[in-house]
Chains A and B, each alone.
Chain A
Amino acid sequence: GESVGLHLPTLSVQEGDNSIINCAYSNSASDYFIWYKQESGKGPQFIIDIRSNMDKRQGQRVTVLLNKTVKHLSLQIAATQPGDSAVYFCAESPTLFFGNEKLTFGTGTRLTIIP
């Protein structure tokens, strides 16, 4: 079956530095990608999304890059803060024209910000 996964399960970054979290996907027909942040003991929170017709999208301190050639997605967090410590996971959907029931979630990367 299709899978969405992450290259690294853990990542430690010095406070103030930039961090990059990676995600690989296997379905070349994937059309919609999302990043979520999950703090310990809490539910995930939406960070940013991107359609397959885009290569890059920016939000507040975050940038998502999509490389369809190698089926790779990354989340860049600029000037990391202690509050950025969390598990980050990506999700993909084969098409924008279905509901969220078609989302496939990755396993997550734990980001730790070192003071």
Chain B
Amino acid sequence: DGGITQSPKYLFRKEGQNVTLSCEQNLNHDAMYWYRQDPGQGLRLIYYSQIVNDFQKGDIAEGYSVSREKKESFPLTVTSAQKNPTAFYLCASSIDREMGTGELFFGEGSRLTVL
């Protein structure tokens, strides 16, 4: 089945540690996104990538890093510089249409808790 796979589903981290969240898609989508979801807030964009080997900062990129070495993979690293990393992280992809937005396909999320 085609879709987006995020791992791990749950992750615990000690303060000062970097962690990497995996996101893989087999939908052959060009664009991939990382969002953060906090209680009572809408999804906030961390990073996005429209094409392999290129990515852009979203609204809350500080303390995060990404790479896009392969079309199907877009891992997110939460660094120790992120002051409030405990959150639910969502990866998404979409067909990068030339003229506009497209349906976002989301993974099932990764819940990160900093101890």
Q: Which of B12-20, B37-45, B62-70, B72-80 makes up part of the contact surface?
A: B37-45
Q: Which of A11-19, A43-51, A73-81 makes up part of the contact surface?
A: A43-51
Give B67-103 as 1s and 0s: 1 = Cβ < 8 Å from A's Cβ atoms: 0000000000000000000000010101010011111
Q: What chain A residues lie within 8 Å of B90 (beta carbons)?
A: 43-44
Given A41-B109, A100-B94; A107-B40 close (CB under 8 Å): yes
Q: Are A99 and B101 neighbours in the complex by a CB distance under 8 Å? A: yes
Give B24-48 as 1s and 0s: 1 = Cβ < 8 Å from A's Cβ atoms: 0000000101000000111111001
Q: Are A100 and B109 neighbours in the complex by a CB distance under 8 Å? A: no
Task: Report how far A107 CA is from B10 CA in the complex, Å.
Answer: 23
Task: Report how far A104 CA is from B59 CA in the complex, Å.
Answer: 10
Interface size on A, residues (CB 8 A): 28
Q: Are A100 and B108 neighbours in the complex by a CB distance under 8 Å? A: no
Given A41-B108, A44-B106, A45-B106; A100-B33 close (CB under 8 Å): yes
Q: What chain B residues lie within 8 Å of A32 (beta carbons)?
A: 100-101
Q: What chain B residues lie within 8 Å of A46 (beta carbons)?
A: 103-105
B84 to chain A, nearest CB (A): 18
Q: What chain A residues lie within 8 Å of B44 (beta carbons)?
A: 105
Give A11-54 as 1s and 0s: 1 = Cβ < 8 Å from B's Cβ atoms: 00000000000000000000010101000011111100100000
A-B contacts, 18 of them at CB < 8 A, read A36-B104, A41-B108, A43-B6, A43-B106, A43-B108, A46-B103, A46-B105, A96-B101, A97-B100, A99-B101, A100-B92, A100-B94, A100-B104, A103-B45, A103-B101, A103-B104, A105-B42, A105-B43
Given contacts A43-B106, A103-B104, 13 further A-B contacts (CB under 8 A): A34-B103, A42-B109, A43-B4, A44-B43, A93-B101, A98-B101, A100-B92, A100-B104, A101-B48, A101-B58, A103-B101, A105-B42, A108-B42
